[in-house]
Amino acid sequence: MGAVATRKAFGDAILRLGEDPRVVVLTGDLKNSTHTEDFEAKYPERFVDVGIAESNMIGVAAGLALSGKVPFACSFSAFITGRQETIRVSVGYNEANVRIVGTHVGIGIGEDGATQMAMEDVAAMRALPNMAIIQPCDEVETHRAVEYLLDHQGPAFLRLTRQGVPAIHGDDYTFRFGEPDVLREGSDVVLVATGAQVAEALGAADALATEGVSAGVVNVHTLQPFGSASIVERARATGRVVTAEDHNVNGGLGSAVAEALAEAGAGARQVRVGLRGYGESGTTAELYAARGLDAAGIATAARALLDR
């Protein structure tokens, strides 16, 4: 199976689930980029394009949600989560069942460069106490996440890649909201990753295995609420944790894991693989290599822990 962008998987999923009359899709002149054109063609009465006006899109979605709909408000994550205060009041404080769908996350988007790259969106949404945050790692998980979000009560943020990501799960995969997905057990170090970095972490674990290092891999699809028990348990057992995410090291997965380990007194060392500084143009592969977000970079971070 080839690589599929999770934004594309979202478009397929929302089209498939669109028969549900509660579903409304909104976009801000990005129906092609967010893969919602097929939904518009099939359900034009439940598709709203507000134009380049993300704050208004958030409010319109809130009004739809308060009237019983399940609106999916789709844009580049940088542009929609950048309206954090609007989301805070219109969606969060109102406990509106809005799904903020943010595509084009991190440096993985590549050539478009820094202004289009959402690198602080998880931090902004994690700051809202009732905002669920889901970042699927592949096509199947994206489908399961969208199915889940039809009935989730409360606001939610779905974080999706522009670039293709390899298949990790089979069709029989069961998505458990709030529970990390343990992909591989290891006795020396645990690699905790989210989104596009899950595949990279599996690659890192393979590389480490050839050196005789046993690395576990945990996929965190739900960043909030953060189910930490399985991660704390493995951190205690190995004493070493690497977190990996295409997001600023502050406020995202790395922070969530560090907070959980500290509060649990897990006594493990952690290295946060993530972004420092703003983005730039390049291919996904070039940027991931340059910033240490690829399998090689994650393996290097793990070795640094093992050498201490």
Q: Which residues bind another protein (CB under 8 A)?
A: 24, 45-46, 48, 50-51, 53, 55-56, 58-69, 71, 85-86, 88-90, 93-95
User: Do 36 and 28 meet the contact criterion of CB atoms below 8 Å apart?
Assistant: no
Q: CB-wise, 56 or 250, nearer to another protein?
A: 56
Residues 6+ apart with CB under 8 A from 136: 6, 9, 142, 144, 145, 158, 160, 195, 221
In angstroms, rounded to a whole number, what is the distance separating the alpha carbons of residues 124 and 143?
24
In angstroms, rounded to a whole number, what is the distance separating the alpha carbons of residues 139 and 130?
26
Shortest Å distance, C-beta 29 to another protein: 12
Shortest Å distance, C-beta 251 to another protein: 22
Residue count of the chain: 308
In angstroms, rounded to a whole number, what is the distance separating the alpha carbons of residues 178 and 269?
24
Q: CB-wise, 25 or 149, nearer to another protein?
A: 25
In angstroms, rounded to a whole number, what is the distance separating the alpha carbons of residues 7 and 159?
9
Shortest Å distance, C-beta 87 to another protein: 10
Q: CB-wise, 48 or 296, nearer to another protein?
A: 48
Residues catalogued as catalytic: 54
Shortest Å distance, C-beta 132 to another protein: 17
What are the residues facing 76 on neighbouring strands? 103
